[in-house]
Amino acid sequence: MRIERTSDDRFVAGAGGVNAIARTSDGVVEFVGFDSHTLAHVRSSMGYPAYYPVPSIHHDKPLQAVLMDLDGTTVHSEEFWIWIIQQSTASLLGNPKFELEEADLPHVSGHSVSEHLHYCLSKYCPDKTVEEARGYYFEHTHRELAAIMAGGGRPGAFTPAPGLKDFLLELKARGLRIGLVTSGLYEKAYPEILSAFRDLDMGDPAEFYDAIITAGFPMRGGQAGTLGELSPKPHPWLYAEAARVGLGIPFGDRAGVAGIEDSAAGVCSIRLAGFTPIGLQGGNIVSGGAAGLCHSLYADLQSVRDALFA
């Protein structure tokens, strides 16, 4: 979507060498085009926006590595985490019958926990703080994840994406390195993939994947935290870390890396890290305005598998 100026008023189309400015439909990323390069402005409701150069990409075969998103791409769990956000907001309001509206859904998935909670606070309880909301969020999360890991909890919370096992085993058989990349915190992300691997009889995901990168651990008193809450997707850092640190692939070899995502934020993250974005339908890539950033867009993992190894 074309716009006249960036939201911070730093760049204006037609001035200072700027040819055009566009943004994703969700307004999270703005692209500033010059003759010789493009900049991406990643906005932040937490007060820490950033500008990044948009690297050139080209798709080389054979691939060296495939990086995959967790929620929606590897495991279907979005409804569960939206429900946790809803429960957290209900607790803040003191109203156990509270339910999110349909219009809220694009704002409570695909970004970080704090971004989701900040949206709900702004709309439903502006007198509350993100810190209060996070307290309820982790209270509900710990209870539900403990129940799920014990074999109970919310039915159907985490299910493997169709075709996941065959896709992953095909990558392994071809000698490709595989990374799992999520904006989710470790304590909620790992039970998801562990549950899916148990369903598929694939053993320990930590032994299967060559790298698993999460947003780290929550910041709590007496514990160490990470930057994950301020540098999630669509920032490039999680995907960049998975490839460079987790898999040992230098930036100069990025053409041999493909990333698979179902969210607009994830596609932007892959693209800003310099890798080839492959989109999966079913998420918000199209509605979020990121389809044009994808090398290709497929219905399911079987279709991705067929295209990669045709």
Q: Find the range with the poorest average confidence among 90-99, 196-205, 240-249.
A: 196-205
List of E strands, 251-298: 257-261, 276-280, 296-298
**What number of residues does the chain have?**
310
Span 99-126, average pLDDT: 91
Tokens linked to 117: 């909670």
Residue 198 CA to residue 200 CA, distance in Å, equals 5
Residue 151 CA to residue 148 CA, distance in Å, equals 5
Q: Characterize the bridge pairing of strands 2-3 and 20-23.
A: antiparallel
Cα of first residue to Cα of last residue in the chain, in angstroms, is 34
For residue 153, the model assigns a pLDDT of: 76
For residue 218, the model assigns a pLDDT of: 75
Token match 């502006």: residue? 126
For residue 246, the model assigns a pLDDT of: 96
List of E strands, the chain: 2-3, 20-23, 29-33, 38-42, 50-53, 65-69, 75-76, 159-160, 177-181, 211-213, 257-261, 276-280, 296-298
User: Spelled out in words, what is the top-level CATH class assigned to the domain 65-76+160-308?
Assistant: alpha beta
221-230 burial, b if ≥16 CB within 10 A, otherwise e?
eeeeeeebbb
Residue 53 CA to residue 71 CA, distance in Å, equals 27
Residue 255 CA to residue 56 CA, distance in Å, equals 9
Radius of gyration of the chain (CA): 19
Verdict on whether the full-model pTM lies above 0.95: no
User: 136-189 pLDDT, tens per residue?
Assistant: 998 999 898 988 777 777 777 889 999 999 999 999 999 999 999 999 888 888
User: 40-65 pLDDT, tens per residue?
Assistant: 999 988 889 999 999 998 876 678 99
Residue 279 CA to residue 269 CA, distance in Å, equals 12
